[in-house]
Structure 1
Amino acid sequence: MSLYVSIICSNVMLIVVICTNRSLHEPMYIFLCSLFVNELFGSMGLFPFLLIQILSEIHTIYKYFCFLQIFSLYFYVNVEFFTLASMSYDRYQAICHPLRYNTHMTNKKVAILIVASWLPPFLSVLCTTILSSSLQLCGNVIQKVFCDNYSVVKLSCNSIRGNNIYGLITSVVMSFVPTSIIFYSYIRILKICFSGSSQTRQKAVSTCTPQIASILNFFFGVCFEVLQSRFNMSSVSAMLQILMSLFFLTTQLIFNPVMFGLKMSSIRNICKNLFRLKA
Structure 2
Amino acid sequence: MDNTTALTFTMTAYAAMENYKHGMFTVFLLLYLTTITLNSLLITVIHQNKELHQPMNVFMCMLSINEIYGSTALLPAIMSVLLSETYEIPVEWCMAQVFFLHTYASAEFCVLAVMGYDRYAAICDPLHYHSIMSNSKTAKLVALAALYPFILFGCYYSLTLQLSFCRKTMPKLYCVNMELVKNSCSNTLYINIVGLVLILLFMVPQLVMIVFSYAQIARVCQKLSRESKGNALKTCIPHLLSLLNYTIGSLFEIIQSRFNMNHVAVEARIFLSLYFVIIPPITNPVLYGLGTQTVRVHILKMFIRYKILPAKLMKPVTAS
8 Å Cα contact 1:67-1:129 kept in structure 2 = no
CA distance in 2, matches of 1:45, 1:127: 20
8 Å Cα contact 2:109-2:206 kept in structure 1 = yes
Number of equivalenced pairs: 279
8 Å Cα contact 1:142-1:151 kept in structure 2 = yes
CA distance in 1, matches of 2:273, 2:92: 21
Q: Which runs of 5+ in 2 are unaligned?
A: 1-28, 308-320
Of the structure 1 ranges 158-167 and 261-270, higher mean CA displacement relative to structure 2 is found in 158-167
- Is 1:256 matched up with 2:284? yes
- Is 1:272 matched up with 2:300? yes
How far did residue 16 of structure 1 move? 1.2
Give the letter aligned to residue 29 of structure 1.
N
CA distance in 2, matches of 1:60, 1:184: 45
Greater RCO (CA < 8 Å, at least 6 residues apart): 2
Percent of aligned pairs sharing the same letter: 37
The correspondence of residues 1-279 of structure 1 with structure 2, limited to 5 A, is: 1-279=29-307
CA distance in 1, matches of 2:175, 2:39: 25
How far did residue 55 of structure 1 move? 4.8
How far did residue 157 of structure 1 move? 1.0
Over the residues paired in the alignment, what is the CA RMSD in angstroms?
1.2
SS at match of 1:88: helix
How far did residue 58 of structure 1 move? 4.7
SS at match of 2:272: helix
Residue deviations 1:161-208, cap 9 Å, x none?
Answer: 221232122211111000110111011111111221223212211110
Which of structures 1 and 2 has the bigger CA Rg? 2
CA distance in 2, matches of 1:198, 1:88: 22
How far did residue 130 of structure 1 move? 2.2
CA distance in 1, matches of 2:274, 2:283: 13
CA distance in 1, matches of 2:83, 2:121: 47
SS at match of 2:33: helix
How far did residue 56 of structure 1 move? 4.7
When residues 4 and 58 of structure 1 are mapped into structure 2, their CA distance, relative to the original with a 3 A threshold, is farther
8 Å Cα contact 1:89-1:181 kept in structure 2 = yes
2:21 aligned partner: none
Normalised to the residue count of structure 2, the TM-score between the two structures is 0.85
CA distance in 2, matches of 1:110, 1:255: 24
CA distance in 1, matches of 2:275, 2:299: 28
CA distance in 2, matches of 1:214, 1:251: 10
Q: Which runs of 5+ in 1 are unaligned?
A: none
Give the letter aligned to residue 28 of structure 1.
M
Residue deviations 1:23-50, cap 9 Å, x none?
Answer: 0011111111111111111111111101
Normalised to the residue count of structure 1, the TM-score between the two structures is 0.97
SS at match of 2:59: helix
How far did residue 10 of structure 1 move? 1.2
